[in-house]
Amino acid sequence: MVGTGAVIATARHIPVVMMLTEEIDIYAEEATDPGLISDLIDGSIGRDSQFHRTFGYYGDGVSPRTAVMPPDWRNRAVEYVTPDGLATAICPSAEDIAIAKLCAWREKDQAWLREAFRSGIVKADRVAALLRTELLAEAPAAEELARRLAVAAHA
């Protein structure tokens, strides 16, 4: 899982405003054909599916490039096992998700970041340290990410 869903699955005492999403971004990391798996996720539990209509949330089949995070994000990730034990999700840390949201910088990402920093779910100093590491080429320039962090963390 990447995105807000990963934080919802792993954080304790998460503010309600950070849970305002119907979408869980999912990709199968070891799939030989990630595009096919993404299409299967969308078709079976995606937006407007029977699953979505029944449970009020949906899975969005995405790729590993959807969330721009530090290459070593797996070192900080945790596993979330569903209560029935039938599925396990690898969930990036809240700080790694924050970096992805700083890269995306949509209005919904900015709102999420403000609340994440305000509530202490995400620590600005940890995000700043991660921003000093190597990021993927798709990431905005380091100076721009530092500016965005300052805006979000001090809002």
Over residues 72-128, the pLDDT tens digits come to 999 999 999 989 999 889 999 999 999 999 999 999 999 999 999 999 999 999 999
Q: Return the C-alpha torsion angle 68, 72, 74, 78, nearest 10.
A: -90
* pLDDT of the residue at 99: 96
Q: What is the mean pLDDT of residues 17-41?
A: 87
Q: DSSP H helical segments within the chain, as ranges?
A: 4-10, 34-45, 50-55, 94-104, 107-119, 124-131, 142-153
Residues contacting residue 29 through CB under 8 Å, at least 6 positions apart:
64, 90
Structure tokens that stand for 65 in this block: 């490039």
23-26/58-61 β-pairing: parallel
Whole-number Cα distances in Å, 107 to 14, 52, 96, 111: 20, 24, 18, 6
Check whether 150 has a pLDDT greater than 90.
yes
pTM of the model: 0.87
- Mean of pLDDT over the chain: 91
Q: How far is 74 from 71, CA to CA, in rounded Å?
A: 8
